[in-house]
Structure 1
Amino acid sequence: MASSMSLKLACVLVLCLAVAAPQAQGTITCGQVVSSLAHCIVYVRNHCAGGGVPATCCNGIKYLSTASQSTPDRQSACNCIKGVVAGIPGINYGLTNKLPGMYGVNILYKISPSSDCKSIK
């Protein structure tokens, strides 16, 4: 029951941060970024509990890569992710940053609350 409540709280927090996260001028929205990666949150927070990466997480990572082809889109996605992950406790960033490579996707920035999104080209 507590796990279910913390998942619901994390989802609400993600949605609130998605609305408030700063964005560069790109065509991808923070809502699209959050929506595509939402299924990865439980995995990167609770990996020690076992289980594989959900297929919806893999699909979201691939979507994010395809949807953020321009510099403004990559900066926008980075800013969104940066703002959202800062508010979610317990994320395993080492694992999080391995996910794109697991699916043959190259994301040009680290998923971290300290990412320098302005430097992304």
Structure 2
Amino acid sequence: MASLKIAMVVLMCFSLMGASITQATISCGQVRSALTPCLNYLQNTGPLAPPCCASVKNLAAAAQTTGDKQVACNCLKFVPSKIPNLNQGNVASLPGKCGFSFPYKISASTNCATYV
């Protein structure tokens, strides 16, 4: 039940953020959906599951244009502030543990305009 509440909070956050980025085909809803299989790992309540890595890799592959990358970056940087009991180390290590890299650190302090 707690995971459902967290998912709803993340949903609302991403929905509000999605309207401010233009020229992108990827949405914060897609970013949110990509992270849903990762919630247990990100909250340190479960292992890193293969569906999480597959989903995040697909998101990274879908973000090809500058606009898409900026949307993904801006959505990812706000995740830490919207999910209770989030393990910041798990957030930052997610790409490496899944075997790929993002061009920026997943963090609330990331300046997406600089890295994308």
Give the TM-score taking structure 1 as reference length: 0.83
State the 1:77 CA deviation. 0.3
- Look up the SS of the partner of 1:28 in the other structure: coil
Between the aligned partners of 1:80 and 1:7, the Cα distance in structure 2 is 19
Alpha-carbon displacement from aligned partner over 1:34-59 (angstroms, at most 9, x marks no partner): 10111112211124xxx421121111
**Is 1:88 the counterpart of 2:83 in the alignment?**
yes
**SS of 2:101 mapped into structure 1:** coil
SS of residue matched to 2:47: coil
Q: Deviations over 1:62-101 (max 9, x none)?
A: 1111011222211110111223332112211222221211
Compute the RMSD of aligned alpha carbons. 1.7
Partner of 1:101: 96
- Larger RCO (alpha carbons 8 Å, 6+ apart): 1
What are the residue-to-residue correspondences of 1:8-23 with 2, within 5 Å?
8-21=4-17, 22-23=20-21
Sequence identity (%): 39
- 1:40 paired residue number: 38
The answer to whether the aligner puts 1:60 opposite 2:55 as a matched pair is: yes
Q: Distance in 2 between matches of 1:98 and 1:84?
A: 14
Unaligned runs of 5+ in 1: none
Q: Does the CA contact (< 8 Å) of 1:23 and 1:80 recur in 2? A: no
Q: What TM-score, normalized to structure 2? A: 0.86
Q: Which residue of 2 aligns with 1:6?
A: 2
Aligned residues: 114
Cα 1:88–1:71 shift into 2, 3 Å? same
